[in-house]
Amino acid sequence: MPEENETTAQTEELTEAVEPQGDATDWKAEARKWEDRAKANRKAQEAAEEALAAKSDYDSIKSELDALKAEKARAEAVKAAATKYGVDAEYLARMEGADVEENAKWLSERPKYAPVHDGGEAKTKPKLTTAELFAQAISQE
């Protein structure tokens, strides 16, 4: 029976190793504490994500507002320059370049219509309709 005594002694040693002696930790309370911390961290993360999304929305709206303000300022500058120099505001607005005043001055110095040296005659004859072609065919006979 010495073997039984050895087996019993080993079992007691393992039981003592598994069961902490003198440790009165309430593991359920610890688990609840860490769960509460995890939930708080999750709420903080969600709040941070919402703040980041709001900032992104704010940035896009602000850039759109800045673009609209720039467009309005250019339209007002075009209107003022067109009135001052007596040029077509729509044509001036379509011109590229930052200095609207300079573009308006350049336009005012140009002739309104490009010079044409064709003697006022059309270079191509208009197409005849079917009725006109028929009339020509009859008159030639």
**Cα separation of the two ends of the chain:** 145
pTM for the whole structure:
0.46
Look at residue 1 in the predicted model and tell me its pLDDT.
47
Rounded to an integer, what distance in angstroms lies between the CA atom of residue 37 and that of residue 29?
12
- 133 residue type, one letter: L
Q: Which two tokens stand for residue 37?
A: 């911390």
Using the predicted structure, report yes or no on whether residue 9 has a pLDDT greater than 80.
no
Q: How confident is the model at residue 52 (pLDDT cuts 50, 70, 90)?
A: very high
- 35 residue type, one letter: E
Q: What's the whole-number average pLDDT of the chain?
A: 81
Average pLDDT over residues 95-109: 84
